[in-house]
């Protein structure tokens, strides 16, 4: 297991839970060691996906206490999902799965980006948590 994040606080937290050589600070997939390319069985991605204009309407506990870096997904919320779709498939082993958190309103768009990148996608919803994830397999 490897973990990566841009936020130094998130990296420090991960370093308390994983061996230091398995925690990487950097931008998305660029932070991963290159020798993992094409060998990853499961790639779990939780990028910001709130559309920039919607940040002001978020609950105060989120918008006032979370760094903007952790929330802002660009004009339509899918900027980072596009980047994951562009690079993620290259990291997956054959049969590997990419799991991407998204919102209900963006689920079709997020899945479409991964499908266009050649992955087989499926949406999973957890009604209790009001959570949506796209699972995308490298077949």
Q: What is the pLDDT of residues 30-45, one digit of tens each?
A: 999 999 999 999 999 9
Distance between CA atoms of residues 81 and 96, nearest Å: 18
Domains and CATH numbers, the chain: 1-35 (no CATH), 37-137 (3.40.50.150)
pLDDT tens string 93-126: 999 999 999 999 999 999 999 999 999 999 999 9
- Locate 125 and state its tokens: 């919803």
H-only helix segments in 3-137? 8-17, 60-63, 79-91, 107-116
Give the per-residue pLDDT at 69: 86
Task: Measure CA 87 to chain center.
Answer: 12
């Amino acid at each position: 297991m490897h973990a990566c994040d841009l936020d130094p606080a998130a990296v420090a937290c991960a370093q308390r839970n994983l061996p230091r050589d398995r925690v990487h600070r950097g931008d998305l997939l660029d932070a991963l060691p290159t020798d993992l390319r094409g060998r990853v069985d499961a790639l779990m991605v939780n990028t910001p996906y709130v559309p920039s204009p919607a940040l002001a309407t978020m609950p105060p506990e989120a918008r006032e206490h979370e760094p903007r870096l952790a929330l802002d997904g660009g004009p339509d919320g899918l900027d980072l999902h596009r980047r994951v779709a562009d690079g993620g498939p290259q990291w997956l082993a054959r049969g590997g799965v990419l799991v991407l958190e998204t919102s209900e309103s963006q689920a079709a768009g997020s899945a479409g980006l991964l499908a266009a990148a050649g992955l087989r996608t499926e949406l999973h919803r957890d009604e209790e948590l009001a959570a949506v994830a796209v699972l995308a397999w490298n077949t």
